[in-house]
Structure 1
């Protein structure tokens, strides 16, 4: 698919640290469009999601309902995002959603899911994002989007844009896990979700892990969505993110992971999330995000 829509999901509603809503523009400034255009893609930058999403600096991160922070803001934003993503796929384009915090995946998956009977998801992240209001220690909705998409949590999040489950748990693969809450561990075990922790990756190698992930999904899904949080990488690589966890993936491992996904020809959409330029060092994390996207879309590093 050579036509690619860039969709800026400039939201910070899903977590308490201001600045992550600036992530889409930081990634643009790091040269995303030119990089992907040079790889042969027809780029259509749709801009940032428009609407009444102004950040309330003084009142940010208020618990509004059922231990959920910025609940109405998250829902409103994701409805708009789902529509934009839906329109891109309807037009036959690949939607590349730039974040913004990971709560945006509620909207991206809602917009994508109606186009696939059996959507697969590779969740490339330090965290499972499988909490709900009862299991979440914080109430931050960026720790809940995959759960909501699997049908767990507040009914208004589960039924956002289209009613019902957006992705089946058996069609999910978690990669890079190293910070899972107890409720998430139970959900993963109860639903037998294929999970690769950093211990697994160190033992098997990223190449074997990604090949296993693709093999697991390719015959039972008709499309695979990649949701990539830059905190999957070690904080040495991506300092500009809100919930860093030591012991993560390297850039070179992630470049290889993306090349394997590119060769599979199974990835049909992508989130690239949690770049926060206010926490960054000279836009280093945004530049790494561009490198990651470039390798997913076919860049090959030769030395």
Structure 2
């Protein structure tokens, strides 16, 4: 398969800070080598610095989304499958826009469904999925080239276990499909019902059980082990038309043994092999 890996090395508006160091760490940890050895043709593109010189979380975050949207569209136009390595979850809004995705699988220990009206901490990334679903930041999201909000009924939320009270209440009113990894087939069946044609796969690496794999400072007990997550996403990819992938929220400072990069390589290798069979 022809693959384009797109690096978006930002965390909360800061270039190469915190989780913004994750994309480079995944590359230096052998991701390209792993995919190449599996027979894939891989090119790497880095969006570099974007926006104004002064880093602002909100303005810079959406500028990153716009840059990613453009690179994803270029990749697709060149017949390449886009994989975005990002510091922040919000970056998936750019990938969704570039792909023209009409459905999304969101694997994350958090709901990312806060809005400016409900957020206690004002953390933009805690509003990432809400933005993708058109629930907040509408003017800024609409400025991302190609962005169209995804219907909440076309969203699968996987293993979200650390929810703020407002997110819990919101999910009672939304038709979002919630699932745990072992129940992936049921979730796929419900997602296929509205005929999803282009499904974006968003993987926040802190979805994992921190006892098995810690990707960043945000840890909540529970969640899948790496093998369980691989089985779930490969199962979904075998049934659904995956249009692109975002992998986010890896902070190498919390991975002293550098365990994450080879596991990401293994996950992507198995996932892409599953997609090639279809």
| TM-score calculated relative to the size of structure 1 | 0.82
Q: Aligned-pair distance for 1:23? A: 0.5
What's 2:58 paired with? Answer: 71
Aligned-pair CA distance for 1:33 = 1.3
Shift of residue 7, structure 1, vs aligned partner = 0.5
1:25 aligns with 2:24: yes
CA–CA distance in structure 1, aligned partners of residues 78 and 33 of structure 2: 22
Equivalent of residue 262 in structure 2, options 287, 298, 301:
287
| 2:141 is the counterpart of 1:158 | yes
Structure 2 unaligned regions, length at least 5? none
Q: How many residues align?
A: 273
Task: Describe the SS at the equivalent of 1:288.
Answer: helix
Contact 1:23 1:99 in 2 (8 A): yes
8 Å Cα contact 1:238/1:285 also seen in 2: yes
**In the aligned structure 1, how far is the partner of 2:123 from the partner of 2:103?**
25
What secondary structure does 1:228 align onto? strand
Structure-2 separation of matches of 1:195 and 1:159: 26
* Aligned residues of 2:10 and 2:17 also touching (Cα < 8 A): no
Structure 1: segments with no counterpart, 5+ residues? 65-69
Matched, 1:174 2:172: no
* Distance in 2 of aligned mates of 1:135 and 1:292: 34
What's the TM-score, normalizing by structure 2?
0.89
Is the Cα–Cα contact under 8 Å of residues 88 and 249 in structure 2 kept in the other structure? yes
**Corresponding residue for residue 49 of structure 1:** 47
Deviates more, 1:140-149 or 1:103-112: 103-112
User: Does structure 2 conserve the Cα–Cα contact (< 8 Å) formed by 1:239 and 1:281?
Assistant: no
1:14 touches 1:101 (CA, 8 Å); kept in 2? no
- Cα deviation, residue 92, structure 1: 2.5
Which residue is equivalent to 1:94? 81
**Residues 214-233 of structure 1 mapped to structure 2, 5 A cutoff:** 214-219=188-193, 220-233=195-208
Task: Provide closer, same or farther for how the CA distance between residues 55 and 227 of structure 1 changes in structure 2, counting only shifts above 3 A.
Answer: farther
Question: After superposition, what is the alpha-carbon deviation per residue over 1:66-102, rounded to whole angstroms, capped at 9, x for unaligned?
Answer: xxxx111112222111111122122232110012121
Which SS does the other structure have where 2:159 is aligned? Answer: strand
The 3-state SS of whatever aligns with 1:174 is strand
Where does 1:250-261 land on structure 2 (aligned, <5 Å)? 250-261=225-236
1:211 and 2:185 equivalent? Answer: yes
Q: Deviations over 1:185-212 (max 9, x none)?
A: 222221221112xxxx3xxxx34x1112
CA–CA separation in structure 1 for the residues paired with 2:237 and 2:136: 33
Within 2, Cα distance between the matches of 1:166 and 1:183?
Answer: 21
